[in-house]
Amino acid sequence: MNVTRLSEYLLPTEKQPPADAEALSHKLMVRAGLVRQMGAGMWTWLPAGWRVHQRMVAIIREEMDAIGGQEMLMPVLQPAEVWRKSGRLDIEELFKLTDRKGSELVLAMTHEEAVTFHIAQIVRSYRDLPLIVYHFQVKERDEPRPRAGVLRTREFIMKDAYSFDRDPAGLEQSYALHVGAYDRMMARTGLRFYRVEGDVGMMGGTGAHEYMAPCAAGEDEVVLTDSGYAANAEVVRAQLGVEELREGDTVNGEPIRLETAIEIGNIFKLGTRYSEPLGARYLDHTGAELPIWMASYGIGPARIVAAAVEQFADEHGISWPRALAPFAVHLVALGKPGTPEREAADRVYETLLQGGVEVLYDDRDAGPGEKFADAELLGCPLRLTVGRRSLESGEIEVQIRRGRKDGPPLALDAEPPELLRALEELLRGLP
């Protein structure tokens, strides 16, 4: 059963944001009934929020499959030994535990060790390479300072992909494929973003890029120049040997500007950083044994969702890009059950449902003000209203959420195929 009647749907909207909320996305995602907090850095995605999250997952999956990625799933709970071999067991943010037999375990914050462990056992020959695998999996991170709602948490879902190649040239080709895929993922969301030079950090390897979405809640700074140079401010400070950067400082002879941003994705050229200690090797065409060249590619659906809230919200609430919205259409019925206007709204709802339109139907026994406020807070791209005025005019009122503009009305008595065609045309033109 498709439960999208608001009288039955779990969407606990709030008039006030949480007292500790500073980031706009934290305030609005809680107020709109998308997420709820269970503990520090621990968040539950409620039905409408989960729909948004899974829309981003679907976009990522499509673009990963398009470059030849093969989806799999690796465990979060892992033996500590592989992390000891890679030299990463002592990372402070890594959750460590022992089982009832005293065996050392970790809760993975990323899966380089796990995937290299498997590849070391599976790949034998140069004919087995290149290879791209990926998964969507929960990550656990002993974050010292969880903050900003779902932006910095201790548990989150990440898509991490791994490429395996014969040599550095192959690694560069796989890396370029992922750069293209990530650029397309970002473009499909409508987000403003920068791909910037990053720091390899605890991942190791020979190079990295970060995908940054500009917004006030971000913890990172991006350094930009007019010629298109973009880098994480940390990287630039290290290169220049300075502790602080200011607007107007120069890099490569050009004045810089600084922008606050959220890191939403990170890609790393790992080289043989993990294949060497974990024994991932292959035989080349001459029979020589060589280490596999690797790269890893992470992206956070939750962070992209929060960045979209930050970038597109207005003073009335969220304003989703069409690609991420929990529902394409928010249908508001004005009028009590049993009235002609409610019956008309019910008919429109059934037409939309049967036509495959993703619609949330506000059939609650509530006033127009409350219904409109909740619709603007949730931020679906299109609001349709059916009430007494619709019966008088023969038109369904249309509001486009982005900019709160009136759209062209739809004919209330149109035949279902005609109504669906007109609605599809409207939706196609939305950002």
Binning pLDDT at 50, 70 and 90, where does residue 374 land?
A: very high
Domain identity same for 292 and 402: no
Res. 103 pLDDT band, cuts 50 70 90: very high
* Residue 6: burial class (beta carbons within 10 Å; 0-12, 13-18, 19+): buried
What does the pLDDT look like over 293-309, one tens digit per residue? 999 999 999 999 999 99
Q: What is the mean pLDDT of the chain?
A: 94
Q: How many domains does the chain have?
A: 2
Cβ–Cβ < 8 Å for 133, 161: yes
Asked if residue 365 is part of any domain, the answer here is yes
10-60 residue pLDDT tens: 999 999 999 999 899 999 999 999 999 999 999 999 999 999 999 999 999
pTM for this model (two decimals): 0.94
Gap between the Cα atoms of 302 and 172, Å rounded: 28
- The answer to whether 325 touches 317, Cβ cutoff 8 Å, is no
% of the chain surpassing 70 pLDDT: 98
Classify strands 395-400 and 405-406 as parallel, antiparallel or unpaired. antiparallel
Residue 264 shares a structural domain with residue 357: no
Q: Tokens representing 18?
A: 């949480």
Question: Does position 199 have pLDDT exceeding 80, yes or no?
Answer: no
Query: Is residue 2 over pLDDT 80?
Result: no
Domain of residue 354 covers 329-428
Q: Tell whether 68 is covered by a domain.
A: yes
Query: Are 161 and 193 contained in the same domain?
Result: yes
Domain assignment of residue 11, yes or no: no
CA-based nearest residue to 59, from 412, 384, 339, 299: 299
Residue 257: inside a domain, yes or no? yes
CATH for 368:
3.40.50.800
Mode of pairing for the β-strands spanning 359-362 and 395-400: unpaired
What is the DSSP-derived secondary structure letter of residue 150? G
What would the mean pLDDT of 269-278 be, rounded to a whole number? 96
Angle between helices 301-312 and 47-66 (to 10 degrees): 110
Same domain for 268 and 149:
yes
- In the predicted model, is pLDDT for residue 265 greater than 70? yes
Whether residue 306 sits in one domain with residue 335: no
Q: Give the per-residue SS3 of 158-191.
A: EEEEEEEECCHHHHHHHHHHHHHHHHHHHHHHCC
Same domain, 367 and 295: no
Name the pLDDT band for 148 (thresholds 50, 70, 90): confident
Q: Could you tell me if 116 and 264 lie in one domain?
A: yes
Query: Which of 100, 57, 60, 102 lies closest to 80, judged by CA?
Result: 102
**CATH code for the domain in which residue 67 is found:** 3.30.930.10
Taking a C-beta distance cutoff of 8 angstroms, is the pair 148, 217 a contact? yes
* Tokens linked to 39: 């503990």
Res. 205 pLDDT band, cuts 50 70 90: low
| pLDDT at 359 > cutoff 70 | yes
Dig out the tokens for 168 from the structure. Answer: 């550095």
Q: What is the DSSP letter of 205?
A: S
* Residue 168 within any structural domain of the chain: yes
Answer yes or no: is pLDDT of 204 > 80.
no
Task: Say if residue 307 is in the same domain as residue 336.
Answer: no
Residue 179 lies in a domain: yes
